[in-house]
Structure 1
């Protein structure tokens, strides 16, 4: 069982704390096997947003956790409490995976954990983070950044994306999808996806991609092209690309490759199919093509990915990042 410590103190944001508790709390009924042991850790009874929270343990307990999660920090113009900063630094030094949600990145930056690293936070505060901590490589245009032992997310809903990403790393895509279904949210938005899009997406039933995307997902074994997708959607390829960029932050082909890789991950986790069979089932054509794309996108070969999730040991491979 993986221990997860939620670090709280006065001035934290309740939404991000609630997201972490919802994702890592009691295991969904459909999930069997080890789950997370979650504890709220703080110096005393604290005020989180408009709520009072009574921690289970003190901040010193962070150092014993496998994963430490720092929710959003409300007052980005003020320095976070020294005891929280020290406890987060000590946890990292002890080998914990340290995660910030939204403006919790300011706590990690104050602890020096983001120095020389790429990181993100809520888009409205990325300039402040970059100015205050010039040694941090702040990326304002992504949902989250996975730096291995240190991970940061953008604001609000992106916190949920990062938490689901952690479940995917720890338990695989199938379990993460189960958690997402229970939360009634999309199972995966890649970390490199833009924090926001400039054009609003129309109502679900009226959106031009509403019928197209399920149609594509059911045909990942076929050699689909942008022209095929455009023809199915009844629009030009250029018009289709505009809709995809507005809705997903990426191009049709990049999105299609991400779906193929994600399907390959699920088949590697849940079946004994050979690489040739998975290549055919995901529309990759050959094992060589699948291995090339899978290794580039996920960071490990398909065989290594399968062994990792079959044995539940070894370093977790990266999830599918933003295409491109």
Structure 2
């Protein structure tokens, strides 16, 4: 039987905490025996979990001897990591213990240095913050989880469930993992990554900026063939000046802005209408349905049909 230690840090996110407890705790082997022994550990006897206070049965000594340690997300992800927790996680890694994080749990894991030089993920909304705080970590915001062998990270709370099922499959095979997935009413593997859940907002432009009328015109004309020269002519400027102003006011280029606007418009149409993919491709200005499908999948991580099945 494998031992899983779930490390509850201060301001732990309840859903992230309960996911590994439930999934591992209910896993059964073909002969009916439990596959895992679960310990809930914390540095202090009581942990702030937002809506309630958690009393952990184990201290940091509960991490010793565990086969797997899971670090759930915490609302205090940017706070300094306790030296005791840092040392305990480093000691466990040195012993060969598998360590996984869920959602913002990647931040305290990164603070130990165990992710340096490795690829990792976290909730997409915090990916830029993770990359800025830990430049030695290769942050991938588009995937549900990353398996580096001993060290694993996952995206949002639901992706933590994907990661737990993945680890069960590693430990006991697909049949046991599939049974655990059925108990969780989850597919064993979800199509695509977390890119499909990212809201691709338009690049910001300060209110009253000189580009504001042009951006409104672009938004109203996404179905047209918008070449850079045409956009510059509409703005009454040269292409070089247009690109400079766009970078100053939006942080991106005119064509990149149009691309993001078209994908966001396509997402909206897939979510709210029953228009065919071919019709949507024309509505958002793609020359062909094939080009639209390719670009949409590169951006969202799934096909337009798969996106509609999830969000329509």
Return the TM-score normalized by structure 1: 0.61
In the alignment, structure 1 residue 77 sits paired with structure 2 residue 129: no
Larger radius of gyration: 2
In structure 1, how many angstroms separate the alpha carbons of the residues matched to 2:161 and 2:83? 27
In structure 2, how many angstroms separate the alpha carbons of the residues matched to 1:251 and 1:202? 13
Structure 1 residue matching 2:76: 3-state secondary structure: coil
In structure 2, how many angstroms separate the alpha carbons of the residues matched to 1:87 and 1:195? 36
Structure 1 residue matching 2:69: 3-state secondary structure: strand
Q: Judging changes above 3 Å, is the alpha-carbon distance between structure 1 residues 150 and 26 closer, same or farther for their aligned structure 2 residues?
A: same
The Cα RMSD (Å) is: 3.1
In structure 1, how many angstroms separate the alpha carbons of the residues matched to 2:143 and 2:290? 25
Deviations 1:240-278 (A, max 9, x none): 9579949x83469xxxxxxxxxxxxxxxxxxxxxxxxxx
Deviations 1:174-214 (A, max 9, x none): 221211111112221268563625526659xx8999xxxxx
Quote how far apart the aligned CAs of 1:34 are: 5.0
Structure 2 residue matching 1:72: 3-state secondary structure: coil
Structure 1 residue matching 2:135: 3-state secondary structure: coil
Structure 2 residue matching 1:57: 3-state secondary structure: coil
Most deviating of 15-24 and 48-57: 48-57
Work out whether residues 85 and 111 of structure 1, in 8 Å CA contact, stay in contact via their aligned partners in 2.
Answer: yes
Structure 2 residue matching 1:9: 3-state secondary structure: coil
In structure 2, how many angstroms separate the alpha carbons of the residues matched to 1:173 and 1:8? 29
Q: Judging changes above 3 Å, is the alpha-carbon distance between structure 1 residues 102 and 31 closer, same or farther for their aligned structure 2 residues?
A: farther
- Equivalenced residue count is 224
Residue number in structure 2 paired with 1:37: 37
Work out whether residues 98 and 149 of structure 1, in 8 Å CA contact, stay in contact via their aligned partners in 2.
Answer: yes
Q: Judging changes above 3 Å, is the alpha-carbon distance between structure 1 residues 207 and 48 closer, same or farther for their aligned structure 2 residues?
A: farther
In structure 2, how many angstroms separate the alpha carbons of the residues matched to 1:124 and 1:193? 11
Quote how far apart the aligned CAs of 1:29 are: 8.7
Quote how far apart the aligned CAs of 1:80 are: 2.6
Residue number in structure 2 paired with 1:24: 24
Residue number in structure 2 paired with 1:228: none
In structure 2, how many angstroms separate the alpha carbons of the residues matched to 1:58 and 1:168? 28
